[in-house]
Amino acid sequence: MVKISKPVIHEIDYTVDGLKKFSESAVNFKKKSRKYLLDYPTVYIINNEARENTYNVYIGETSNIKARTNQHLLTNDINRELSRLPTTNSASMFVIGHEYFNKSLTLDIENKLMHYLSTVDQVDTVYNRRTNQQNKYYTSEYFEEIFSKVWQELRKKNKILFPLKSIIEDSALFKASPFHKLTREQIDAKDKIYTKVINSLESDKVGELILVAGEAGSGKTVLMSSLFYDLKKELAREVESKKELKVHMIVNHDAQLTVYKQIAEKLGLTSKNNLEAVLKPTRFINNITNEDPVDVVIIDEAHLLWTQGKQAYRGKNQLHDLLERAKVVIAVFDVNQILTTEQYWEEDELEKIKAMSKKNDNYIFLTNQMRIDAEEQTIDWIRNLVDNQIVLNIPNDDKGYEIKIFDDAEKMHNAIKEKSKNQEKGISRVVATFDWKYVDKRKPENEEYWMVKDNDFKIPWNYQLKPKNKSVKYKDVSWAEQPHTINEAGSTYTVQGFDLNYVGVVIGPSVKYRNGKIVFDKEESENRKAKQRRTLKDGSKEYLSDFLLKNELNVLLTRGIHGLFLYAVDDQLQEALLKAQKGEIKIG
């Protein structure tokens, strides 16, 4: 086994004098340090403390650190973004060298530093250009270990700018970052979409639909985030007009909207026109006309768009309206994550949009499971529970994914608390099916909070408890990232689209087990949007609760990266799950 050495990291003042001192003092460096910093490729981080404990950063790599630093200092035309970084005494530069550094490895280190630093709370802005993901190369097998050692050494120099990796990796911002290293499937999809967008813009058509499908956890959000970054940063250079293009990210989910807005602000992706780069569909539709369409619209979680009029939206189908207002629409769609009657698509309408995209070879289906870190038989167990509504014996998982059934909800909550205490295990939370009453912005009559209850167990629904640390502002932080929410139960409204390391699901009384099958009972659900009737286009009214409550269960069961803990209120379902844990389910 190869032992990976520590990197060499040297900090200099980011000034002409600082560069001069670095050059002069290099003769006194140890031989290896001098070689790795001056003769090998290096990675560097320019950081400017714009305000106390708040930084702007630029990350780069070079084969000649002295020449490249001189260019940054004296010739700002080389990098316009960098010219916005004031070269004051508060600016410094970390120069990073390593014996294994080559061009490909330094590009990967640069990209990963952009990924991590762009999600650090104390970093205001990352001034960089497009990503430079590398594939296989000579030292690629050592990349992760080398990066960890680089980060550890940087932490010794500045713990505020370089916090614990585990804290960063738990943030929703990190998980949705455009700087994730993409899989081959995602790279192929991204290249195909990018080419389609260029061809479509040059033909000047309106309403070209590119549909991206795949189950929960198949990497759709990361793909869209990466596309959004590249389209905003690079697309204008690729098309003949070279004019600034109007590219917008649309998302109909409050928590995800906040995450995308933060990404746009930190990475300089905000619009120069009056309309925000990241916004909700109704605001976009009400501000853009058919006569003046934008260039590209990306819709994450397009299954959350409305298919009927509601509130300020006066149309009939938001996706159709978006297609009339953009030359290209890239939509992520998962029919198994539709949760309310106002999002429901009738089968023939759904087939029409699929056919529209397939006609021009614009239908992309992602198959890899990116979230659940488990063996295939474990994923199959979850899919059988949801899709086929059957309970099978829980398989052993050699990758360590943990499915555990609890005979008491309180014990499950305590187990989730234990997982959450360990920073290496990351954020873990309890969630529940919407089977207990909750009314937003209203207090219950006889209790302090709206509660999820079973026997002696009770826990408040999400967004009710106040943080203990009043000095921390959690307005722009997702529900699960707020420490006090370990004592609340999340719902599909707070966790859809987000990851948890371990998820404990209280399966409420709307999910039952009868005659060897899971069934759904709308009378036990408090989710009015799932159990009310929907008026169909032929004028008939139909209950969609079986479909929508099944999707609710699907969203909750697919949040956990490393583990899924379960407790069922229905006695027969609980009995079946406990039998499955012991391997006592008889097949056939």
Query: Reduced to 3 states, what is the DSSP secondary structure of residue 509?
Result: coil
**Region 387-410: what's the mean pLDDT?**
97
The residues pairing with 13 across neighbouring beta strands, listed in sequence order, are 92
The residues pairing with 432 across neighbouring beta strands, listed in sequence order, are 506
Query: Is residue 397 predicted with pLDDT exceeding 50?
Result: yes
**457 and 498 co-located in one domain:** yes
401 sits in which H/E element: none
Q: Which residue has the higher pLDDT, 224 or 241?
A: 224
Q: Distance between CA 377 and CA 381 in Å, rounded? A: 6
pLDDT digits (tens, 9 = 90+) for 68-103: 998 888 764 334 444 454 544 568 899 999 999 999
Establish if 176 belongs to a structural domain.
Answer: no
Of 461, 571, 419, 411, nearest to 507 by C-alpha is: 571
**535 and 387 co-located in one domain:** yes
Position 1 confidence tier, pLDDT thresholds 50, 70, 90: low
Percent of the chain's residues with pLDDT above 90: 68
Indicate the burial class of 90 (C-beta count within 10 angstroms; 0-12, 13-18, 19 or more): middle
**362 and 465 co-located in one domain:** no
The last residue of a domain, from among 304, 333, 366 = 366
Q: Which domain holds residue 542?
A: 376-582
pLDDT at 150: 97
Establish if 371 belongs to a structural domain.
Answer: no
Single-letter code of the amino acid located at 388: N
Query: Is residue 582 predicted with pLDDT exceeding 70?
Result: yes
**Region 170-175: what's the mean pLDDT?**
88
pLDDT digits (tens, 9 = 90+) for 250-277: 999 988 999 999 999 888 888 777 799 9
**359 and 466 co-located in one domain:** no
Strands 457-460 and 451-454, sheet pairing = antiparallel
The residues pairing with 404 across neighbouring beta strands, listed in sequence order, are 565
Q: Distance between CA 446 and CA 522 in Å, rounded? A: 25
Query: Is residue 345 predicted with pLDDT exceeding 90?
Result: yes
pLDDT digits (tens, 9 = 90+) for 6-24: 999 999 998 888 999 998 8
Establish if 3 belongs to a structural domain.
Answer: no
Contacts of 174 by beta carbon, 8 Å cutoff, 6+ apart? 115, 116, 119, 168
**Region 499-510: what's the mean pLDDT?**
96
Establish if 565 belongs to a structural domain.
Answer: yes
Q: How many domains does the chain have?
A: 3
Q: What is the CA radius of gyration of the chain?
A: 26
pLDDT at 322: 98
Query: Reduced to 3 states, what is the DSSP secondary structure of residue 359?
Result: helix
Indicate the burial class of 268 (C-beta count within 10 angstroms; 0-12, 13-18, 19 or more): middle
pLDDT at 423: 57
Q: Which residue has the higher pLDDT, 243 or 217?
A: 217
**423 and 564 co-located in one domain:** yes
**197 and 315 co-located in one domain:** yes
Contacts of 221 by beta carbon, 8 Å cutoff, 6+ apart? 175, 176, 256, 300, 301, 332, 497
Position 477 confidence tier, pLDDT thresholds 50, 70, 90: confident
Establish if 463 belongs to a structural domain.
Answer: yes
pLDDT at 554: 95
Establish if 169 belongs to a structural domain.
Answer: no
CB 319, CB 297: distance < 8 Å:
no
**Region 535-547: what's the mean pLDDT?**
94
**114 and 199 co-located in one domain:** no
Domain with residue 271: its CATH number is: 3.40.50.300
pTM comes to: 0.87
CB 513, CB 321: distance < 8 Å:
no
**356 and 407 co-located in one domain:** no
Query: Is residue 472 predicted with pLDDT exceeding 70?
Result: no
Q: For residue 352, how many other CB atoms are within 10 A of its CB?
A: 12
Query: Reduced to 3 states, what is the DSSP secondary structure of residue 60?
Result: strand
Q: Which backbone phi and psi does 500 adopt, to 5 degrees?
A: -130, 150
Position 452 confidence tier, pLDDT thresholds 50, 70, 90: very high
The last residue of a domain, from among 319, 340, 366 = 366
pLDDT at 217: 79
pLDDT at 547: 96
Query: Reduced to 3 states, what is the DSSP secondary structure of residue 554?
Result: helix
Establish if 530 belongs to a structural domain.
Answer: yes
**304 and 407 co-located in one domain:** no
**426 and 361 co-located in one domain:** no
Mean pLDDT, the chain, rounded, equals 90
Establish if 358 belongs to a structural domain.
Answer: yes
Percent of the chain's residues with pLDDT above 70: 94
pLDDT at 204: 79
The last residue of a domain, from among 366, 395, 415 = 366
Q: Distance between CA 5 and CA 8 in Å, rounded? A: 9
Q: Which residue has the higher pLDDT, 249 or 368?
A: 249
pLDDT at 133: 66
Query: Which of 29-38, 88-97, 165-174 is predicted with the least confidence, judged by mean pLDDT?
Result: 88-97
Query: Reduced to 3 states, what is the DSSP secondary structure of residue 375?
Result: coil
**571 and 499 co-located in one domain:** yes
What's the half-sphere exposure (Cβ side, CA atoms, 13 Å) at 149? 17
**312 and 217 co-located in one domain:** yes
pLDDT digits (tens, 9 = 90+) for 117-138: 999 989 988 887 656 666 667 7
Q: Distance between CA 535 and CA 518 in Å, rounded? A: 27
